Amino acid sequence: MLEFVQTMDLPALLLFLGNIICIVVVVFIERKHPSSAWAWMFVLIFLPVIGFLTYALLGRRLRKKHLYRFSGGQHTGLLQLIEEQKDALQHDAFTFKDDAAAQHNKLLYMQLAYNGAVITQNNDVTIFTDGRQKFEQLLRDLKNAKHHIHMQYYIFRHDELGQRILQVLEEKAKEGVEVRFLYDAIGSNRLFKKHMHPLAEAGGLSEVFFPSIFPLINPRLNFRNHRKIVVIDGGIGYVGGFNVGNEYLGVEEKYGYWRDTHTRIEGSAVHALQTRFLVDWNMASKEHRVTYDDCYYPTIEREGSTAVQIVSSGPDDEHDALKYSYVKMIVSAKRYVYIQSPYFVPDETVFEAVRMASLCGVEVRLMIPAVPDHKIVYAATMSYMEDLLKAGVHIDLYDGGFMHAKTIVIDDEVATCGTTNFDVRSFKLNFEVNAFLFDTEKAIDMRRIYERDLQVSKPLTMEAYKKRSFRKRTQESLARLISPIL
């Protein structure tokens, strides 16, 4: 080894030492999960230049000391309400409007105790699966705003749809409505400060989440705010899979029809979305941070019937809240589990939960796109299919466009819709948020949406899977090796 090192020139020696340091950090200092550690070591050893640069940008953890401010923003009375609801659930004293919710008090308790996800039961929920319908309703709600608009998207394009929304925000700001607009620096990397000047001149505010130092150089590249939240006047909220861009209207030839799922909520659950937005906003903003004010949490007069919990997670989440919620839903199912996700790159816990549910006789269906948008991630996804098929899981390949929905529904009792994909990135690295609906009617609606999508899907059979080319098999094997860091 010494002779090998002595033969190196200075650049090669520095690169070699850098790789060794990275490996030491991965194995001994940061103590990543073994699967993640092996994946990084594979990249560092076999791709020394690319691996070193990739680890510098993507591999480092986000230090917890930088995330303490994320836990702020809780308004008066929230902690007391959480304790009261926990006590009621523990003693079977919680009064549910729908028996479906009562069947899942353990899931409710976990999300309440470890994520602060208060339970509200006066919500009206509308489920959108079509981008045109979702954005037309959103634009109507924005135009009717009276006090404030809080908007947050991972991807916001300055195309026809994006400009329509920004124009409404500018008009409302001129009317005196408080407008706060938060977007992710990487997801919205083509949205520039100059695009925000008209909004600023109208009196609106905008902020960038984890901004880049230079174009394409971001020290926190791996930790993105993948949330999509809109709150209007504290009483109307949106959360789901749709970003903002023409492709989400199904007008881009590359993707064809864009199949996604999004929820519009009216009721007290909007307060949880409000808190989530304000915490993210205060983290991103240095000059325009918001303190608690009753005007952002108005009394909700509406008497809906859907029980909702808003659950969020991210690298600041000690308990991997959304992963735990997904696993709990899957293992709680008695009749069926229907999952829709554009990506399926799970960790071992999630993967075994899906397989185990099927092996226990539960009907488990997984719908993924028939055509990928990210080839490496799709190759990793396909590498898991054989084991799922052997366990009896039904794999449905959506062929009616591009499937981007992130949903689970079980037993006509519980459904979730949000921003969280079935992959390690969503569970560990991204900042995500989901709405959990404990309502028989809404769960049936979600099940019927899945069944409707089956009409434009094709089953993946073991026979067809085994006919893959040698090239595809090789790509999938390599992608599987690095799947924990995709």
Q: Which residues are catalytic?
A: 226, 228, 233, 404, 406, 411
Pairwise CA distance, residues 260 & 134, whole Å: 10
For residue 43, give the nearest of 53, 34, 33 by alpha carbon.
Answer: 53
Burial of 283-307, coded b for 16+ CB within 10 Å and e otherwise, reads bbbeeeebeeeeebbeebeeebbbb
152, 169, 206, 309, 444 from 175: Cα distances, Å: 21, 10, 17, 33, 41
First to last CA, the chain: 32
Retrieve residue 334's tokens.
């008695």
Interior angle at CA 316, CA 120 and CA 238, nearest 5: 40
Which DSSP letter does residue 225 get? B
Retrieve residue 268's tokens.
């007290």
Q: Are 342 and 404 contacting, i.e. CB atoms less than 8 angstroms apart? A: yes
* Bridge partners of residue 244, in order along the sequence: 156
Pairwise CA distance, residues 286 & 289, whole Å: 6
Which residue reads 């809240």 in tokens?
321
